Amino acid sequence: MDLYTLVKVAHIIGAAVLFGTGAGIAFFMLMAHRTRDPTLVAHTAQIVVVADTIFTASAVVAQPLTGGTLAHLAGFPMFSGWIGLSLILYGVTGAFWLPVVWIQIRLRDLARAAARAGRPLPPAYFRLFRVWFVFGFPAFFAMLGIIWLMVAKPTF
């Protein structure tokens, strides 16, 4: 297997991890949230924080490295055309993902405190959850755009 193919496989796996982990995290957090059970929410949020730390953060670092290597090996200009647009969308995704990581940690902590006290989830939890939920949409659609650009490689 040549270097280009090896790096391309790593890049595709990274994209799948980013998209799949993001979709999975959103699903499990939403399902836990719907129960309004502080213990379940705290447990799910803890798993989500770990998954984001291990999988999403690793892929976030790997994607620009593998993408940059692919662009270099293929002779594509790095900051123009579909690659430049992909980088802009990647920045959009990151701008929404970074606050979401902090929000997930805060949601976990609020749910833990409520569970320990035997109380329902506090209003602060619900305010943060709404922000978390809304921030997922631009990140999700930006990732869809990046994947489309990776596959279609349109000319501008």
Mean pLDDT of all residues belonging to the chain: 96
Inside any domain, residue 66: yes
CA 82 to chain centre: 21
Q: Predicted confidence band at 156 (pLDDT cuts at 50, 70, 90)?
A: confident
Q: Predicted confidence band at 9 (pLDDT cuts at 50, 70, 90)?
A: very high
Q: What local confidence, expressed as pLDDT, does residue 37 receive?
A: 98
C-alpha to C-alpha distance for 86 and 71, rounded to whole angstroms: 12
Inside any domain, residue 101: yes
Inside any domain, residue 156: no
Inside any domain, residue 142: yes
Inside any domain, residue 115: yes
| Domain region containing 29 | 3-151
Q: Domain count of the chain?
A: 1
Q: Predicted confidence band at 80 (pLDDT cuts at 50, 70, 90)?
A: confident
Section 29-39 average pLDDT? 98
SS (H, E, C) the chain: CCHHHHHHHHHHHHHHHHHHHHHHHHHHHHHHHHHCCHHHHHHHHHHHHHHHHHHHHHHHHHHHHHHHHHHHHHCCCCCCHHHHHHHHHHHHHHHHHHHHHHHHHHHHHHHHHHHHHCCCCCHHHHHHHHHHHHHHHHHHHHHHHHHHHHHHCCCC
Section 123-145 average pLDDT? 97
What's this model's pTM, rounded to 2 decimal places? 0.91
